[in-house]
Structure 1
Amino acid sequence: MLKEIGHDYSVLVSSTMTRAKQTVDIVTKSIPDVSQEETDILREGAPIPPEPPIGNLRPEKNQFYQEEARIEAAFRRYVHRADPEQKTDRVVVCHANVIGYFACRALQLPPEAWLRLSLNHGSITWNTVRPTGRVGLRTLGESGFMPADVTSVL
């Protein structure tokens, strides 16, 4: 799917968790000549207490305060204005909670809404931040390229 989009990719950055590594193995079959990086900063986590609170994901749980700074740092590292001279794109392989948070933050929506977004495993989210600062969410959780029997929803 990524090759068919027709972009040149400079790097494939991924979480160090098993599911992300398995996805990278699949992605590199489509774009084999792209350099790869792994980072713990993209690991799955609960980025911020959801609003309204859901199930066991309540603000009094410490997990948010441990994960929020890391996931916000990942957002700032990987989602920012493109350099005007940029000719290639970056592929980031991570996890649904992180992607939902990134999407909300990029679109200047309340980041507490991250858990309202449901993404299939292995789906593609395509976010663009132009040098002017204009942000576009081309697709969120696109999985139509996969047979329905192999998709699963978080």
Structure 2
Amino acid sequence: MRAVVLALMLSLTTLVAAPAAFAVQPDEVLSDPVLEARARAISRDLRCPVCQGESIDDSNAPISRDLRLVVRERLVAGDTDTEVVDFIVARYGEFVLFNPRAEGANLLLWLAGPGLLLMGGGLAFAYTRRRSVAAGADAGLNAEEEARLKELLKS
């Protein structure tokens, strides 16, 4: 029984991991290990235009295969990593970057999160400060109210 369960778990693991493991085909791999390592590093940072949640290195989509081949062709041609990424971005837009550049319109998006966090923190601080000041002013009783309270407590 143990062997059956183990075999079932192994086959399920293989089925789940197989698409990502076999995305890069053997005919795509460069013979130069240094260039191949650079191609893999670039491919991990580029998003598949079809899958959107996978890098082109992990995707089995035909467009990802084409992009992997373009990356390798550009590296063999002598382009730097930045030139290869710029070449891909020029054709597909910044959408293909998993980590968009912090420039131009993207700068607004990069700064919006921290800006809203700081603004929310400032509003929360001002709200709690105002409440504590208002609560401190209302906490004390005036002389007339103290006299009325003593009168009620004696009864």
TM-score by shorter chain over 0.5: no
Q: Which has the higher contact order (CA 8 A, sep 6+)?
A: 1
Normalized per residue, the structure richer in strand is: 1
Specify the TM-score bucket, using the shorter chain as the normaliser.
Answer: under 0.3
TM-score after normalising by structure 2: 0.22
Larger Rg: 2
Normalized per residue, the structure richer in helix is: 2
